[in-house]
Amino acid sequence: MGPTMTARIESVEEMMELGAVAARVAEAGAVIGLVGDLGAGKTHWVKGFVAEMGCMAEVTSPTFGLVHEYRGGRLPVSHFDFYRLGSAEELVALGWDEFFEDGGVVVAEWADKFPSLMPPETRWFYFTIGTDGVRIVSDRPA
């Protein structure tokens, strides 16, 4: 499995930089699952990711729209939020499988709600809030 990556993040800027680092190595077809509580930094991570891809659009959480698409950068980014989805069937009905075919990157917040729909090659990041308020991001569950 390789070494574990764990980062202590003390600011919004550091969280965005962590997302940017992931964007620099992301390839077409990549799928990224983000797991963590509300306020743990997932959307700020995505902001850094999308900005590093070269898309100038403002990134907001797709909690109500379920998916935002960011185009115009190095690769298109489809940003999902499963938080309000009630079932895997709802996600499939949205055309979930089609997003893997556009040659871009799929990033899903709350991806652990429907792990069976995440492809085996998904790269997972786990976000937690430490007792001191510092955000901790790891590629392994806490």
The per-residue DSSP string of 84-142 comes to T---HHHHHHTTGGGGGGSSSEEEEETGGGSGGGS-TTPEEEEEEE-TTS-EEEESS--
- The per-residue pLDDT for range 14-43, each reduced to its tens digit, is 999 999 999 999 999 999 999 999 999 999
Kindly state the tokens that stand for 55.
Answer: 């898309």
Q: What string of DSSP letters covers 60-72?
A: ---TTTSEEEE-S
Condensed to tens digits (0 to 9), the pLDDT of residues 70-103 reads 999 999 999 999 998 999 999 999 889 899 888 8
Give the number of other CB atoms < 10 A from CB of residue 62: 21
Domains and CATH numbers, the chain: 6-137 (3.40.50.300)
